Chain A
């Protein structure tokens, strides 16, 4: 099996417009969650989020592009440009045919849907812009990344709610490992911070109105974020031959399904995914130093996740650091695993563990070293990133420090 490494990373999210500023904010424990700025916000009961403020699409895209690019596609393209530029890869000839795009998103072009439903239902208009369908479809971002960079290999979009980008990265990993591609652009994005997107989440009554406090005894729900994280996964020998800078090695991936409940998480399903990732990576649990938790800040997720980690790691759980960076950037739903992978890269490359901010009080059911409030210096060889989605669909990735 081919080895797979990461040779490029890009992002835009509430903490920063690129990887450097995002990781600097993570290391500083900056809170990117703030008051939402959107139409009809006075009709919402949840009015905070990890929103990317003062974003102006015209700074990045021309009029024709904006007609086709929903906000989630725009975020993806910006992150992909950064990642591909860092990798130094240019996709021409044979490499173009051996490189593809697999991205995760949950809602796809939700802003486009929201605005156009409003046009026909609320404003009573009988006509919408001709490109609404290609703008809102979930695979639009994947297609536009493919077109912009001439990526002509295996490409598709994965939708598994909050685990979408982890599932996408797992597929990209498998694609290279199995020999179907030399390089893959992968990760995910989400732009659900529109009126309808928040309104739908309000209904579930799992959103916090005052902040995201994962693992804290006073936590009272999740806070949504938006943005994208995109990576270049590349076959190790290919990267080595061109002397590329390697950010980390992808060593394992595992998926599982709880097969039990559409919203309540299961310890058994999560534990199977975590244990599966260790097995796939052929490593002992004692090698893992850091876990970027799913850590949504809901009562149910955090205690279930901690129970699953405790079960898989046994006594080594006491040596682990496990933080939730959702406390800073919010829950990016289909893009969350991708942005959170940046915290894993920071841990492996720079030896800086991103904190769980807003942490006030220990919950006995989540009594882990959650790196409360302040980042920590620590040498980490292996990091895991957890994602456990509604629907009970779980995906865990294992990374190792660059060889």
Chain B
């Protein structure tokens, strides 16, 4: 299973949507994921990929981890997974 499809599954579960409804261009806000949902997504991502995501809910835009869209999240995770490998 690719990183992309795993990320989509995680976000779909939080957003209570079918994974097919999620595109790489979707933003979490558009999908109805609020700030608590974001924190839960990141927790699920860390657990799934055994990585540590640098994310502080106080300054989401300043984080190295770009959560603006599903695609940007996927890219950031691919980078972290590669670094960990």
Question: Which residues in window 3-53 of B have CB below 8 A to A?
Answer: 35-36, 39, 42-43, 52
Binary contact track B55-68/A, C-beta < 8 Å → 1, others 0: 11111000000000
**Other-chain residue from A203, A208, A264 in contact with B35 (beta carbon distance below 8 A):** A264
Contact between A206 and B36, CB atoms less than 8 A apart = no
Residues of A within 8 A of B55 (CB): 205
B56 to A204, Cβ gap below 8 A?
no
Chain A residue nearest to B59 (CB atoms) is A220
CB-CB < 8 A to B43: which residues of A?
Answer: 203
Check A220/B36 contact, CB under 8 A, given A203-B43, A205-B42.
Answer: no
Q: Are B59 and A299 in contact (CB under 8 A)?
A: yes
Q: B10 → chain A, closest Cβ, in Å?
A: 16
Q: How far is the CA of A300 from the CA of B57 in the complex (A)?
A: 9
A interface majority secondary structure: loop
* Across-interface contacts of A219 in B (CB, < 8 A): 58
**Looking at B55, B56, B59, which has the most chain A CB atoms within 10 Å of its CB?**
B56
- The residue that B58 contacts in the complex, of A45, A203, A206, A263, with Cβ under 8 A, is A206
Closest chain A residue to B42, Cβ basis? A205
Residues of A within 8 A of B (CB): 45, 203-206, 208, 219-221, 262-264, 298-300
Q: Name 14 A/B residue pairs within 8 A (Cβ), A-sorted.
A: A204-B39, A205-B55, A205-B56, A206-B57, A206-B58, A219-B58, A220-B56, A220-B58, A221-B56, A221-B58, A264-B35, A299-B57, A299-B59, A300-B58
Which are the 8 A-B pairs with shortest beta-carbon distances? A299-B58, A205-B57, A221-B58, A220-B58, A220-B59, A206-B57, A205-B39, A298-B58
